[in-house]
Amino acid sequence: MKWLPERMRQALGAKTREAHPAGSVEAHIDAWAPPPEHYYHFEDLAVGMAEEYFHTITDDDVAAFAALTGDTNPVHHNQEYAARTRFKAPIVHGMLTASYISTVLGTKLPGAGAIYLSQTLKFLAPVYHGDTVVARAEITDLIAEKSRAVLRCTCSVEDRVVLEGEAVLMVPRRESNQ
């Protein structure tokens, strides 16, 4: 991690110590992801169903994302550099913002067992450190013969849509033979 600025190394180090209890990967996931509250079988879904996830993005989130992905573009973490851009301040990685859609799909609608098949994204506006992102997914179509759900996905900050797209997921049926 020598390539990371000191502030990022410190942020990732703090995050790592807190987020990775001793033991297996499963123990880590269990510690941070309690059993799913929401999950649906394909038969439970209906067009119009929707769920949301809210998250306020911190400097530590951006630093950890940069460390995990290797995207250390200074527009995301360097105040002086970002001040010279059209954004005037550091912006959040677009894919970090988009990742909150995965949170909705994997934990709320459809939830556990759903598998991403495709995702389109259109980035409409920047997201800044400290912004609260609302990720929303709404079912727009169901393809019964393939157990597929099509969802309109958006991320918003306040009342402004900053990202939009469409996801297609394979959703488990009540019977294990999909």
> Across the 178 residues of the chain, what is the mean pLDDT of every consecutive 10-residue run?
46 45 53 60 95 96 95 95 97 98 94 94 98 98 97 97 98 75
Question: How many distinct structural domains can be found in the chain?
Answer: 2
Whose structure tokens read 């970090």?
Answer: 96
64 lies in the same domain as 50: no
21 lies in the same domain as 43: no
The CATH code of the domain that includes 178 is 3.10.129.10
pLDDT of residue 104: 95
CA distances 113 to 46, 99, 143, 173, Å, are 17, 17, 17, 10
pLDDT of residue 39: 80
69 lies in the same domain as 13: yes
Q: Which residues contact 154 (CB under 8 A, 6 or more apart)?
A: 135, 136, 161, 163, 164, 165
Query: For residue 153, what are the domain limits?
Result: 38-57+95-178
pLDDT of residue 15: 44
pTM to 2 decimals? 0.79
pLDDT of residue 174: 86
